[in-house]
Amino acid sequence: MGQLTIQWYPGHMAKARRIMESRIKQVDAVIELVDARLPISSRNPVLQQLSTRKPGIIVMTRDDLADPEATQAWTDYFAEHDMIAVPANILSGEGLGRVKDALHRVTSEKVNRDRQRGLRRTIIRAMVVGIPNVGKSSFINRTARKAVAKTGNQPGVTRQEQWVKMGDIELLDTPGVLWPKIDTPEQGLRLAVSGAIKEQIYNVEEAAAYFVAYASRRYPEQLKQRYKLAELPAVDWTDLQTVWPQIAPVFEAIGRHRGMLARGAEVDIERVSRMLIKEVQDGVLGRLTLEWPGDDATTDEA
């Protein structure tokens, strides 16, 4: 197993910044979606760098798949960094009420200003941003289904100018896509395991090895139970170079147990890896979080 093969392209980042820069002028606040299982690695620094900073909240999507204890730790972590982060299950709608409350809290200045000017009702305009696949469209659709009312929806009006209403909140209905900026191998591997990046640009065996190494420390019982493993080696997952030799016996055991064999009765590591990643993404191993505050340099800075 060689070096990590994930790549990203600086051009994406420059383009994302330009688009955000112009769109953000239209709104009062930004709703930044991150994945609750990797809240820092699934953020994107572009937002923080924009010249037109707006009040913002963080929504931690896929709360249903994340470890509740870790989600609480992340909520506290963001609060310590003066940010409001709200966990939500976008599919069931759980947590969306709290998102709305949080949005009101960060935009209270605008409401107060409008009151002073004699306005009785303030519309809060917000845009939804986040890395691909984090749940942006689902968030907007879910919101729209709740309070169905679209504005600017006449024929001939470009789709980009549509707003979705949720009471006194209007969401720009074209979400802003931010590409993840991959600073460390660990961050790339977490993104790969979570399903945020396409399989073509990472090595599935490396991602699975990283996950098994990580889970053997953080979630050993889930791993043992799911794959009928009698024991797990105490893996040092912080040193990626040495992970594979430590974790190979686990892949061997899982492959034999599942009958995933290649020619010569050898375990088909690639098949085992693919299966592992899919099961993690489907939540088959139970609720788990791929990074906790303070795990490494990636998670030390918000």
Ligand X SMILES: Nc1nc2c(ncn2[C@@H]2O[C@H](COP(=O)(O)OP(=O)(O)OP(=O)(O)O)[C@@H](O)[C@H]2O)c(=O)[nH]1
Q: What is the SS3 assignment for 275?
A: helix
- The answer to whether the annotation marks 135 as part of a ligand binding site is yes
Distance in Å, CB of 128 to ligand X, minimum: 8
Spatial CB neighbours of 198, under 8 Å, sequence gap ≥ 6: none
Closer by beta carbon to ligand X, 175 or else 255 = 175
133 binds ligand X (CB under 6 A): yes
- Return the half-sphere exposure (C-beta side, CA atoms, 13 A cut-off) of residue 173: 20
Distance in Å, CB of 292 to ligand X, minimum: 19
Element (H, E) at 35: strand 29-35
Spatial CB neighbours of 1, under 8 Å, sequence gap ≥ 6: 203, 205, 206, 209, 244
- Of 12, 50, 137, 222, the one binding ligand X (CB under 6 A) is 137
Taking contact as CB under 6 A, which single stretch among the options 24-32, 109-117, 135-143, 145-153 is the one that binds ligand X? 135-143
Residue 224 near residue 232, CB atoms below 8 Å: yes
- Of 43, 100, 136, 218, the one binding ligand X (CB under 6 A) is 136
- The answer to whether the annotation marks 294 as part of a ligand binding site is no
The burial class, CB within 10 Å (0-12 / 13-18 / 19+), for 299 is buried
- Structure token pair of residue 193: 């395991």
16 binds ligand X (CB under 6 A): no
- Of 30, 70, 177, 247, the one binding ligand X (CB under 6 A) is 177
132 binds ligand X (CB under 6 A): yes
- The answer to whether the annotation marks 133 as part of a ligand binding site is yes
- The answer to whether the annotation marks 138 as part of a ligand binding site is yes
Q: How far apart are CA 60 and CA 291, in angstroms?
A: 13
Distance in Å, CB of 130 to ligand X, minimum: 6
Q: How far apart are CA 144 and CA 242, in angstroms?
A: 48
Q: Which residue has the tokens 């974790």?
A: 247
Distance in Å, CB of 7 to ligand X, minimum: 18
- Structure token pair of residue 95: 């947590």
Distance in Å, CB of 77 to ligand X, minimum: 20
How are beta strands 150-151 and 29-35 bridged, if at all?
Answer: unpaired
Distance in Å, CB of 151 to ligand X, minimum: 21
* Residues 22-61 contacting ligand X, CB under 6 A: 61
Closer by beta carbon to ligand X, 257 or else 278 = 278
Closer by beta carbon to ligand X, 134 or else 260 = 134
Closer by beta carbon to ligand X, 95 or else 255 = 95
How are beta strands 169-177 and 163-166 bridged, if at all?
Answer: antiparallel
Distance in Å, CB of 42 to ligand X, minimum: 10
Other residues' Cβ atoms within 10 Å of the Cβ of residue 116: 8
* Residues 62-91 contacting ligand X, CB under 6 A: 62, 64-65, 89-91
User: Among 178, 172, 191, which Cα is nearest to 130's?
Assistant: 178
- The answer to whether the annotation marks 153 as part of a ligand binding site is no
- Structure token pair of residue 135: 């749940």
Q: What is the SS3 assignment for 58?
A: strand
Closer by beta carbon to ligand X, 122 or else 141 = 141
Other residues' Cβ atoms within 10 Å of the Cβ of residue 267: 20
130 binds ligand X (CB under 6 A): yes
What residues are designated binding site for GTP? 133-138, 176
What residues are designated binding site? 133-138, 176
Binding site for ligand X (CB under 6 A): 61-62, 64-65, 89-91, 130, 132-138, 175, 177
